[in-house]
Amino acid sequence: MAHDDRPVYLRLRDSIAEAILEGRYRDGDPLPSVRALAAEYGANPLTVAKAYQSFQDNGLVDVRRGIGMFVAKGASERLRTEERTVFLRDTWPRIHAQIRRLNLDPADLFREDIETPA
């Protein structure tokens, strides 16, 4: 997980959301148990449970008592829509302003052979 100052449960939530968006967990797939995810990230199980609760509150996971949590149908598309909205509203304006300040050619942003200063 990337270092930031946000609470651990939000960083865990972002990691799980990223895995869903990247297709590592597809609609209907089981998510790791709270204990397994806590061990993987070195987090408190209560913190993991809080991250999972946020998914449950948003209808992104289905809980099957005694079996576990599963990615809800349509969760990846709903997450993608949310992420696009946040990007366009919060992230893109800052990036766009920096591109303009630096007088970057947008075509250069997609070149793979860009040299970076040493």
Q: Is the pLDDT of residue 116 over 80?
A: no
Q: Looking at the domain 1-112, which fold is it? A: Arc Repressor Mutant, subunit A (1.10.10)
Using an 8 Å Cβ cutoff, are 36 and 16 in contact? Answer: no
Residue 109 per-residue DSSP state: G
pLDDT tens digits for range 6-42: 888 999 999 999 999 999 999 999 999 999 999 998 9
Sort 23 into a burial class: Cβ within 10 Å, 0-12 / 13-18 / 19+: exposed
pLDDT tens digits for range 69-102: 999 999 999 999 999 999 999 999 999 999 999 9
Neighbours of 32 (CB within 10 A): 18
Cα dihedral 18, 24, 27, 30, rounded to 10, equals -110
Question: In the prediction, which pLDDT does 3 show?
Answer: 56
